Structure 1
Amino acid sequence: MGTIRTGFISSAVAFSVISGLTVGPAFAATPADSSSEDPVVIGTAPPAEPEESDLIEVSDPDSEQTFKPEKPPVDTPNADYCSPRNIYKPKTKGARYHVAVGPTNANYNGTSRTAKSTFTSEVTGEVGVTVSAGLSASVSVMVAEIEGKYGVDLSLKLTAKLGNSMSVNTPPKKTTHGRYGVYRLKNTGVSYRLYSNCKTSESKTVTSYTPIEVGWTLWES
């Protein structure tokens, strides 16, 4: 495993410009016009991809899915009463996963000295929530529950914009790879139906990815 250099990418994309180098489009970390001094984290391999392949993108975050249990419970005369509703409860906070907006680019530093690469985003793109089957509550409710449990700020949609710029150092004889886009937080929870007699349906495990931040992901080879 190679050394991980520091440098964090927060909202920017780019076309790389390196003096005296063979240059192609690339990505970097902190916006060139940013006053932030936070370091950029540069990995040694591309970022991990989400494990699930059966997720669906949400078109209407405020609508609840139709819940059709095979055999709804029968009310009895003296049963307790509950307001019927669809419920979602977050259980496990996962990692962040990056969704690219635009192509993955790279810059090779063919010199014997460290050189600065500057990148600017070339496209604008919007990234929303994806969720696995089984969610009966609305996505808006699910996201609010995740925010409340973990104390994070999430969004139903985030836009990575054209023209955002960043700079990063590329070591001698190294290639800096970069992708601009949106980070999404993975979460696993359960969803079920609460009936009027206070009984519940069988709970379903639900996996979701929710936008949390716009930014870059960088790695070297």
Structure 2
Amino acid sequence: MGIIKSSAVGSVVAFTVMSGLMAAPAYADETPAATSTEEPVEVNTAPPQEPEETGLLEESELEPEPEVTTRPEKPPFDTPDAEYCSPRNVYVPKTKGGTYHKGVGPTNSNYNGTSRVARSTFVSDVTGEVGVSVTAGLSGSVSAMIAEIEGKYEVNLTAKLTAKLGNSIAVDTPPKKTTNAKYGVYRLKNTGTSYKIYSNCQTSTKKTITSYTPLKVGWYLWES
């Protein structure tokens, strides 16, 4: 069982939540409240959005791409004056979407049943890794796709990020409200076009690819 603490400072009722457990309220006295120097924490009004696409694949589930070669059924044929292109996979980022939070571990919740503002502290109780998710049909590697997205939008992305055990966050919970907290990884959504160029300069069918790529580790908070 996790450690549970509660304390009261000034007119604020404070809770500490460990491993998803909720502490009983400690009622505050009437002494002046201490001034907080902490930066405000963003608290949302709804749970994190799920990715809009279905059929997403993790990087480990993607089938390896065969080597890009000439398509023999398509002219021009291999003659001295035939047009030649360097065979390659192409990925072109098209639309930068929003960020989506993928949780690691359970959602922690704390209800403030008092008539005063309560301070809730949440602590992550698991370690987990979050990677890239992408729709089927990507030509080339995930790392090449990430490099193109980074170059176009001037962002720093990575194929995997780890949300670690023991990270904590504190936030005020209004009276008669519940603060919910989920720890995990924010991922950037992007839509792009993927295709192959063959040595005879023919191209494969262009496919629209949607991806969610790790951007940063953090908490997602919302009230209910």
What is the TM-score of this pair, normalised by structure 2?
0.79
Cα distance, 1:120 vs structure 2: 1.0
Q: Root-mean-square deviation (CA), in Å?
A: 2.8
CA distance in 1, matches of 2:135, 2:38: 38
When structure 1 is superposed on structure 2, of 123-132 and 45-54 the one drifting more is 45-54
2:52 paired with 1:48: no
Structure 2: 5+ residue stretches without partners: 8-12, 22-36
Please say if 1:214 is aligned against 2:217: yes
8 Å CA contact 1:21–1:108 kept in 2: the answer is no
Q: Specify the alignment match of 2:65 in structure 1.
A: 65
Runs of 5+ in structure 1 lacking a partner?
A: 1-13, 27-35
Contact 1:64-1:136 at 8 Å conserved across structures:
no
Q: Which residue of 2 aligns with 1:163?
A: 166
Structure-2 change in CA distance of 1:38 and 1:135 (3 Å): farther
Amino acid paired to 2:47: P
Larger Rg: 2
After superposition, give the CA deviation of every residue in 1:66-104 in whole Å (9 maximum; x if it has no partner): 379997533343232211011111101111111110001
What is the aligned counterpart of 2:153 among 146, 150, 154? 150
- In structure 1, which of residues 197, 202, 205 is the aligned counterpart of residue 205 of structure 2? 202
SS where residue 59 of structure 1 aligns? Answer: helix
- Pair 1:164–1:200, CA change in 2 (3 A): same
Aligned to 1:173: 176
- Aligned counterparts of 1:169 and 1:206: Cα–Cα separation in 2: 40
Q: How many residues align?
A: 198
Alpha-carbon deviations, 1:158-177, whole Å to 9, x = none? 00000111111111111001
CA displacement 1:97-138 (0-9 Å, x = unmatched): 111100011100111111111111100000001111110110
Greater CA drift, 190-199 or 178-187: 190-199
Aligned 8 A contact 1:112 1:173 in 2: yes
1:47-126 aligned at under 5 Å gives the runs 47-59=48-60, 65-66=65-66, 73-76=74-77, 77=79, 78-126=81-129
CA distance in 1, matches of 2:135, 2:44: 29
AA aligned to 2:91 is Y
Aligned to 1:39: 40
> 2:134 aligns to what?
131
Contact 1:83 1:196 in 2 (8 A): yes
What's the % identity of the aligned pairs?
61
3-state secondary structure, aligned to 1:43: coil
Contact kept, 8 Å, 2:122 with 2:181, in 1: the verdict is: no
Equivalent residue number for residue 7 of structure 1: none
Most deviating of 39-48 and 69-78: 69-78
Matches of 2:223 and 2:198 in 1, distance apart? Answer: 54
- Tell me, in whole angstroms, the C-alpha distance in 1 between the residues paired with 2:116 and 2:149: 46
Following superposition, the deviation at residue 181 of structure 1 comes to: 0.3
Between 1 and 2, higher relative CO (CA 8 Å, sep ≥ 6) is seen in 1
Mean CA deviation greater in 192-201 or 82-91: 192-201
Aligned-pair CA distance for 1:39: 3.0
